[in-house]
Chains A and B, each alone.
Chain A
């Protein structure tokens, strides 16, 4: 199985990656190889294998509903590229 240039361009858009035509060509080759490795599995008969939802065998890991202190606001927003002491600031998000 191989991916087309358009498949890769679409995934790049969804991932917010701006790729040049050269990069698109390179990614198309490399991603096709990865998909190719995975499609080796298609050679196996998996009809009697249960789907696996999680690699760990455990289930039902819960925590109790008990509050713990949150971060102070200064710390919460400290690493933001832009902030006003209260909120994270991002380029305008207008009504969509």
Chain B
């Protein structure tokens, strides 16, 4: 197994991630305004989410349910008692002047999620999760610098939508591990139906804490000051930003020798176009938020039985699903990863297909080569795929029973996708008929008779020379099965009197 790329560097990169995901509820966390992206500005607000005097928040049952499902899937301990707190700060997109969040009694703590590279680029990395809590999102402020106006515009549609904050321990050891772990987290949350995790629309946001552990000549370890990186808008930019920041911190350490504790925690923003991180204002210390218990919300309790029942009712995680596909259908870890990475609906299509053709490996090959390629080319998901699993199973079944070979099967499948017709109809329309036994025997006898050179080669032990006969057979009749032609020709040659 290859070593992690960072092992070449004279330091270890230590990374912890803080991930915010928006929950897939119909309404906001504390009011009945719709939780929807893309509506015209300030059309999804009410006295509660505008923070108008006299309004009171009421917790959304579904938001809490989704949050607990996510934390359970992340192996967290679910609290039997949890409450909310006010985090006080001033920002124009926060109309109340405080965010309702969770401070000392989050609803879940102490989870874990493993990052596994399907190609084995690094050893599997188990990452501990410090806590997962449920809070409200802020609105959006927009500033068009090119317009040259002095004002920023505030849209409060997002204000008060439910947000899950997931904080990892600093257990990741390379930018590639961080990217892989985020991918696994996103897949898990999408499988659970907790969030759509769309980074473009901001429903998944990532901040990273990173520093370096540098072995010194005297055997001790130098630790560089921790930097928090923000503004990373894709998984690729997370990996790039961390790679850049690690190199930057090493250079800075060589120049200044500054270590953890000698400088305050710094916040840096990632500039994707420039490919660099830039220093931002110093982060307010946690106590500056003056957290105190939210008086407008009552605590939430769960019994041990209720927590156990939630755990019982959890659907299969992507990790468990990969393992089961590998074991049940005898496919590779890599293939299982590709299939599972496409989502639960595609896995269901695959499993239906595998059952119908009673062959996981063959089903997987058709999925990866023909189905996935079509989905990519047409930019559609499996739900919109025009051929049902039974239709593809029909094609594969006909290939298996020798009606035609795999490449012919592919053409038929492509035609089924294009026309929406069944395998039977396509076969009839393309004039593809199974070649009768007599017809095949006649054809092979003609070929053997017409190719004395190939026959001589085969007789002298070069079986592969028979390949030349298959090409000629396909020219004469495109419907012949190459395997059958080969077997029959070899049989005829073996029965010839020795020359």
Total interface residues in chain B, CB < 8 Å: 52
**Are B45 and A76 closer than 8 Å at their CB atoms?**
yes
User: Is there an interface contact between B92 and A73, defined as CB atoms closer than 8 Å?
Assistant: no
8 Å CB interface, A72-93 against B: 72-73, 76-77, 82, 84, 86-93
| Cross-chain contact A70 with B141 (CB below 8 angstroms) | no
Given A62-B59, A65-B62: A76 and B50 interface contact (C-beta under 8 Å): yes
Q: B154 contacts A90, CB within 8 Å? A: yes
Q: With A and B bound together, what is the CA distance between A6 and B286 in angstroms? A: 18
Of A63, A68, A87, the residue contacting B61 (CB under 8 A) is A63
Whole-angstrom distance between the alpha carbons of A55 and B298 in the complex?
9
The yes or no answer to A94 lying at the interface (CB within 8 A) is: yes
- With a cutoff of 8 Å between Cβ atoms, the chain A residues found around residue B156 in the complex are 76, 88
Given the known A-B contacts A14-B290, A68-B32, are A91 and B152 also in contact in the complex, defined by CB atoms under 8 Å? yes
> B275-308: contact bitstring with A at CB < 8 Å (1 yes, 0 no)?
0000011000000101001010111110000000
**A16-67 contacts to B (CB < 8 Å):** 16, 53-56, 58-67
Q: Is the CB of B60 within 8 A of A62?
A: yes
Pair A93/B59 contact, Cβ less than 8 Å:
no
Q: Are A87 and B155 in contact (CB under 8 A)?
A: yes
B247 to chain A, nearest CB (A): 24
Shortest beta-carbon distance, B499 to chain A, in Å? 84
Known A14-B288, A66-B27; judge A58-B298 contact (CB<8 A).
yes
CA distance A92 to B141 in the complex (A): 9
Interface residue SS majority, chain A: loop
Residues on the B chain within 8 Å of A71, using CB: 45-47, 50
Does B150 interact with chain A (Cβ within 8 Å)?
yes
Say yes or no: A88 contacts B42, CB within 8 Å: yes
Most buried by B among A58, A61, A65, A82: A65
Inter-subunit contact A88/B153 (CB<8 Å): yes
| CB atoms of A59 and B299 under 8 A apart | yes
Q: Number of contacting residues on A, CB 8 A?
A: 36
Contact with B44, one of A55, A70, A87 (Cβ below 8 angstroms) = A70
CB distance from B334 to the nearest CB of A (A): 39
Query: Chain B 17-36, CB within 8 Å of chain A: the 1/0 string?
Result: 00000000111000011100
For A79, the closest partner residue in chain B by CB is: B52
Q: DSSP class of B's interface residues: helix, strand, loop or mixed?
A: loop
- In the complex, residue of chain B having the shortest beta-carbon distance to the beta carbon of A86: B41
Is the beta-carbon distance between B143 and A93 smaller than 8 angstroms?
yes
In Å, the complex CA distance between A95 and B58 comes to 33
Q: Is B88 an interface residue (CB 8 A)?
A: yes
A92 contacts B150, C-beta separation under 8 Å: yes
Asked if A59 and B298 make an inter-chain contact with CB atoms under 8 angstroms apart, the answer reads yes
Q: Is B431 an interface residue, CB under 8 A from the partner?
A: no
Residues of chain B contacted by A54 (CB below 8 angstroms): 83, 293, 295, 297-299
Residue B40 lies at the interface, judged by CB distance under 8 Å to chain A: yes
Task: Check B269 for interface membership: any CB of A closer than 8 A.
Answer: yes
List of B residues within 8 angstroms of A64 by Cβ: 61-62
The CA-CA distance from A14 to B83 in the complex, in Å, is: 24
Q: Are A93 and B33 in contact (CB under 8 A)?
A: no
Is B371 an interface residue, CB under 8 A from the partner?
Answer: no
> What residue of chain A has the Cβ atom nearest to residue B90's Cβ?
A16
Which B residues lie within 8 Å of A87 (CB)? 41-42, 142, 153-155
B contact residues around A82 at 8 Å (CB): 151
A26 to B42, CA, bound (A): 42
The one of A14, A76, A88 that contacts B88, using a Cβ cutoff of 8 Å: A14
Q: Are A63 and B60 in contact (CB under 8 A)?
A: yes
Q: Name 19 interchain pairs, CB-CB below 8 A, sorted by A.
A: A14-B88, A14-B290, A53-B81, A53-B105, A54-B295, A61-B297, A62-B64, A63-B58, A66-B26, A68-B27, A68-B32, A71-B50, A73-B41, A82-B151, A87-B142, A88-B42, A92-B143, A93-B91, A94-B145
Residues on B facing A (Cβ under 8 Å):
25-27, 32-34, 40-47, 50, 58-64, 81, 83, 88, 90-92, 105, 141-143, 145, 150-156, 269, 280-281, 288, 290, 293, 295, 297-301
